[in-house]
Structure 1
């Protein structure tokens, strides 16, 4: 009769069970924060690269020079996948605005968001400056 009561009061495996229940949630939150940090870094890099390209375009750079400047400003990203769009493409005049848009398709490392979000996440930024 004393055996069942003693077995019910035994709490030796309680911490292991609680850890097994909470650990996946903590890991998912931690990896989500890492992924958001990577996306934030990519966004800041793309924004900075667009700013560099627009500044060069505002002082008279050609489209090829602007694209090269954007590539060199975004060294943390894969230069083969960076897309640079310049508007207007030709015949820029003083006082007119130039807009440089930089896009970067970023692949995620977490398997959960890739099953929810199809394809890479597009990180994009544009900067507009007046031509001098």
Structure 2
């Protein structure tokens, strides 16, 4: 009888469930952080690319600011193109061919997971990029 009680006490049937309950929230938080970091990194790269390409287009075609903005919206990904704030500035306003062009792009990107939203204080994060090139 005593041996049966000792065997019952030494059973470890629920050990795996308890270990999973302890580690699963940490693993989910790490997974959400990886997903959101990748999403934000991809969007930052897209905004950087759009500002660079917009500046390149502006130095070759120093025409109207609306044409440059339309070109940037055409090459940007859909989630950025519709909501981004684009500012095109020529340093020499009298003759744009003799100065620099500055392209600023800013956008609020949605956070995908609510867990990471707690750490960045909101459901969106502002990403921006600026590119300055000499008009030739």
Question: TM-score, normalization: structure 1?
Answer: 0.88
Residue 104 (structure 1) aligns with: 107
Residue 127 (structure 1) aligns with: 131
Structure 2 SS opposite 1:94: helix
CA displacement at 1:24 relative to structure 2? 1.1
Structure 2 SS opposite 1:5: helix
CA RMSD of aligned residues (A): 1.8
Residue 75 (structure 2) aligns with: 73
Residue 11 (structure 2) aligns with: 10
More helix by share: 2
Residue 22 (structure 1) aligns with: 23
CA displacement at 1:46 relative to structure 2? 0.5
| 8 Å contact from structure 2 (residues 100, 134) kept in 1 | yes
Using the alignment, how far apart are the partners of 1:41 and 1:76 within structure 2? 13
Question: TM-score, normalization: structure 2?
Answer: 0.86
- CA gap 1:68/1:6 in 2 versus in 1, 3 angstroms: same
Question: Mind listing any 5+ residue stretches in structure 1 that lack a counterpart?
Answer: none
Question: Mind listing any 5+ residue stretches in structure 2 that lack a counterpart?
Answer: none
Question: Bigger CA drift: 111-120 or 23-32?
Answer: 111-120
| 8 Å contact from structure 1 (residues 48, 73) kept in 2 | no
Structure 2 SS opposite 1:126: strand
Structure 2 SS opposite 1:118: coil
Structure 2 SS opposite 1:109: coil
Using the alignment, how far apart are the partners of 1:76 and 1:84 within structure 2? 15
Using the alignment, how far apart are the partners of 1:70 and 1:58 within structure 2? 13
Q: Which runs of 4+ in 1 moved over 4 A?
A: none
